[in-house]
Amino acid sequence: MISVVVLGAGHVGTHLCKAISTSEQLKLVQWYNRSIIDHSLSIQDVNQVHNLNDLVDADVYIIAVSDGHVEKLSNQLPFKNRLVVHTSGSVPMRHLNNKNRRGVFYPLQTFSKTATLDFKDVPICVESTNKDDRYLLKTLAEHLGSPVYAINSEQRQALHLSAVFVNNFTNQLYRIAHELSDEKNLDFEILKPLISETAKKINHISPYMAQTGPAKRRDQKTIRTHLKLLENHPNYKKLYEQITTLIQKTHG
């Protein structure tokens, strides 16, 4: 059984704690957070601590805090030669203090504390400074039911950048569409089947082959109509023009 300490009670830390605590092959021995953990998020029979000096021995310590605090928390750990990993997509592994064995346990998924999440839908990317630790992290991910990928820091940063495009940027486009439909008293629900079908399509064909729409068809009449509709939204008009140009260059 792999013993785990999770440090951090944000979105990622909370979901990791919930998943680890329900696995028969894993033991969540402690959950650290600097402040008191929200009672509604607490997990039964898990030892919650708020002082780093109270941390006990474990096979792996998972730092699940914001990117800007990973290095500082790593430096503050009061022990040496234990396996310490972080969950960030963009922080290099070398930012962890080398007094401990270093690694990365990066779950590639969008997290919110209140949403239910099955870790079989959470690919986990692992990295470590030695082979044995990499095997332990791979086993830990498998016990969560996750697909596992061994990648280096440079690959992980490229993956994180790609994830921003497919998740954060795409969600902003949804928000714009929500605003535009609201202006004409349209229910955003009408668009949800299209959103789902577009996402499902790339399970079978590449994004390049899946591209449709007026930009690819070079339907200038429709494009001009859309731009006219966006006259009162100059930022959205500019964005529409930029994406249209990118699509036309890609499918030129």
Domain ranges of the chain: 2-151, 156-250
Has residue 132 got a pLDDT over 90? yes
The pLDDT tens digits for 27-55 are 999 999 987 776 555 676 788 899 999 99
Which pLDDT value is given to residue 126?
96
Give the mean model confidence (pLDDT) for residues 15-24.
Answer: 91
The pLDDT tens digits for 76-127 are 999 999 999 999 999 999 999 999 999 999 999 887 777 778 899 899 999 9
Which pLDDT value is given to residue 148?
96
Q: What percent of the chain has pLDDT over 70?
A: 96
Q: What is the DSSP-derived secondary structure letter of residue 38?
A: P
Which pLDDT value is given to residue 112?
77
Return d(Cα 80, Cα 78) in angstroms, integer. Answer: 7
Structure tokens at 55: 């941390």
Q: Mean pLDDT lowest for which of 6-10, 16-20, 46-50, 236-240?
A: 46-50
Which pLDDT value is given to residue 99?
96
Give the mean model confidence (pLDDT) for residues 132-151.
Answer: 96
Would you tell me which CATH number, out of the four given (3.30.470.10, 2.40.110.20, 3.30.70.100, 3.40.50.720), belongs to the domain 2-151?
A: 3.40.50.720
Q: Mean pLDDT lowest for which of 12-26, 52-66, 72-86, 113-127?
A: 113-127
Q: How far apart are the first and last CA of the chain?
A: 55
Has residue 14 got a pLDDT over 80? yes
Which pLDDT value is given to residue 42?
60
Superfamily in which the 156-250 domain is placed by CATH? ProC-like, C-terminal domain (1.10.1040.20)
What are the b/e assignments for 146-182, b being 16+ CB within 10 Å? bebbeeeeeebbebbeebeeeeeeeeeeeebbeeeee
Give the mean model confidence (pLDDT) for residues 10-22.
Answer: 91
